[in-house]
Chain A
């Protein structure tokens, strides 16, 4: 809430000089909904489209360094053209738009073209897929020695948002990471700092016409902490995120949420989809008001099969959910796709086929209608180390 100081009132004369003046501060909630904003209606429509039943988001916004690690894992050199080719494979998969409503891109990709010269943003729009853009510039370590992080990217964000919108982006993404499972984690500082970043980012995006995906990731990490502990900290984190979104006047009908599912630590036994669904649903019901149109879960290390089965269980547990319970998957859509391609043109169609099968499975799961079998069963967890100091590269 922004406080507006009123002029102090003068008091009765006589002993007035010794009486302190009462300055009243009004609660002036300058929510975006009460201001004239050109973008509000469009933001709501975009968010509603992306979170429509049966569709989800393809997260393909890996930074150049992270993309490089992926490419190298299948023996492909990390060059701009290889990164371009890999994304072309994803975005030109025929019929992808049946299952995918939005694709998050890295800045480089937003401006790239297919081999035939068409802009990626145009290819996506022709598929009925909104282009999105990662706008944070990476994680930085917070002082305190616990390896906790904050996310950077507020400097110059307004100008970048305007430029991205001009290029065709219609939604944005900012990933905040909160670590649990170690002594002292998460600290209050980390929680507040990450919530603050998300809220300010969301506010700036909405002001300049991009739907912000708000991603507070309580990360799956080492430790034997229980699923209840993840739920406990997730509730705390989401509570702080929501309160700051409220205070900064973010229009909730014009955001999307990208949270973690509640899972136990890596050293604890894997939880069944039913348990994940029960605890995650409860956490969302306690934390997220219905005005938010879509909850797009991140896959965060779950195997491709786990990501689908858990999403299916979530929709079975909560068929009347007031928000869409769907996906924004990176690794869970790309891992096998990449392995199938391995940089070889001869594998292009087969790779796209796998992507479509994975996208379809998750689309079904998001309506509670996935019956199996999974296109890539039995895969292991797909973990990646937390990368800091990226500064947007």
Chain B
């Protein structure tokens, strides 16, 4: 249950007066709209469909079902997703890749228009990908700040209303202080730029699943990363009522001998959130990061067994699309069944967001693990 401010967060510029230095209290052009968009995306029983795979990554998905990686095939696949009937009941926002933002259905209707008609807010991936960070032990940093303000304005014109930027943090490789700092810095600067262009920034410092570490170590690192991220966002005057978070859940590493069930994941994750996330943030949309469809839903469900100060929900890619892809196989005659699979997963996660998911309704397919060691997104 998200805490709503009863009044607007509009702030006025304060004149300097006397010898006091001018205090620029934020008077952002888009403040009201950002808050409204964030609350729309973070609405009860709904979450985000992440479908912003780059062309190369999308190619991997298509490849796995024997479909060629062409623009038309990518378009057809994304059409399948956004036109699934009734999707807007469970999905409040969908993150697109740049190419997709400008694509249309076979019938010529722009994807963003299809989405808007179905109450789904269009979002856009704005980062330019990960590259190696010098003087670290194989860690990465995320590019994308150059020209970001212009790109964001263009995306806003094309109909996007939220943005997404994914930085990563590796536990086996550190994380070093410089990697943590750059991760937080990049996210904070991106968030400030996005807000000034009218896009709600999704803030995603993904602490990767890779590693043999236990859940306590994951908690430690996540607490440090989120402290750093909020620190830089505060310094960059990001308005917390107009952002969304996309954290990884707090779990043991993929190769850790001690596994953790949903109750433990929920306990640790909520502890981390309560320690690091001010209630002004309207929504926390978890990434699935390699968890199976079933695991992602069970964990989310466990986190929603009692009220939280923010909307706790999902922003899933693989955990929503895995079965869909396998059902589709690139064949037009399978589209309806594939869409039904998407709705089924979306509804399951909608139920989980409300803490009322019933696992007995799910089959074996959903339990298939999707963790890939050293996964390159």
Task: Name A residues whose Cβ lies closer than 8 Å to a Cβ of B.
Answer: 1, 3, 22, 24-29, 31, 33-34, 181-184, 223-226, 228-229, 231-233, 235-236, 239, 242-243, 246-247, 252-253, 278, 281-282, 285-291, 317-318, 320-322
Contact = CB atoms under 8 A, between A and B. Distances in A.
B1 A320 contact: yes
A290 B224 contact: no
Contacts of B19: 183
B223 interface: yes
A296 B307 CA distance: 23
Contacts, number: 125
Interface residues of B, number: 49
Contacts of B305: none
Contacts of B235: 239
12 contacts: A3-B177, A22-B136, A22-B137, A26-B176, A228-B25, A229-B14, A233-B23, A239-B234, A239-B235, A246-B223, A290-B273, A290-B279
A236 B235 CA distance: 8
B136 A24 contact: yes
Given A285-B5, A322-B279, A34 B220 contact: yes
A232 B25 contact: yes
B331 interface: no
Given A289-B278, A318-B3, 8 more contacts: A1-B180, A24-B174, A25-B177, A29-B223, A285-B5, A289-B276, A291-B275, A321-B3
Contacts of B220: 28-29, 31, 34
Contact of B20 (A183, A243, A289): A183
B12 interface: yes
B210 to A, nearest CB: 16
B337 interface: no
Contacts of B177: 1, 3, 25, 27
B12 A289 contact: no
A285 B279 contact: yes
Contact of B25 (A181, A229, A252): A229
A184 B21 contact: yes
A24 B137 contact: yes
B274 interface: yes
Contacts of A229: 14, 23, 25
Nearest to B4: A320
A34 B223 CA distance: 12
B11 interface: yes
B361 interface: no
Contacts of B97: none
A26 B228 CA distance: 15
Nearest to A318: B3
The 9 closest A-B CB pairs, nearest first, are A246-B227, A285-B280, A322-B309, A239-B234, A291-B274, A183-B19, A29-B224, A291-B275, A286-B280
B355 interface: no
B176 A27 contact: yes
A291 B270 CA distance: 10
Interface in B143-157: none
B25 A27 contact: no
A318 B3 CA distance: 9
A244 B122 CA distance: 37
A63 B230 CA distance: 37
B221 interface: yes
A233 B234 CA distance: 12
Interface in B8-34: 9, 11-12, 14, 17-21, 23, 25
Interface in B118-161: 135-137
Contacts of B136: 22, 24
Interface in B164-199: 174-177, 180
A377 B143 CA distance: 60
A242 B278 CA distance: 11
A247 B280 contact: no
Contacts of A232: 14, 23, 25
A288 B276 CA distance: 8
Contacts of A29: 220-221, 223-224
Given A34-B216, A287-B278, A290-B274, A225 B135 contact: no
Contact of B176 (A25, A281, A289): A25
Contacts of A236: 234
Contacts of B221: 27, 29
Contact of A288 (B11, B18, B278): B278
Contacts of A28: 220
A265 to B, nearest CB: 10
B36 interface: no
Contacts of A287: 278
A78 to B, nearest CB: 38
Contacts of A31: 220, 223
Given A3-B177, A27-B175, A282 B234 contact: no
A24 B176 contact: yes
B224 A228 contact: no
Contact of B240 (A25, A225, A286): A286
Given A229-B23, A252-B275, A322-B279, A290 B309 contact: yes
B6 interface: yes
A141 B224 CA distance: 33
A276 B139 CA distance: 46
Contacts of B279: 285, 288-290, 321-322
Contact of A22 (B12, B18, B135, B274): B135
Given A22-B135, A239-B231, A289-B275, A228 B14 contact: yes
B360 interface: no
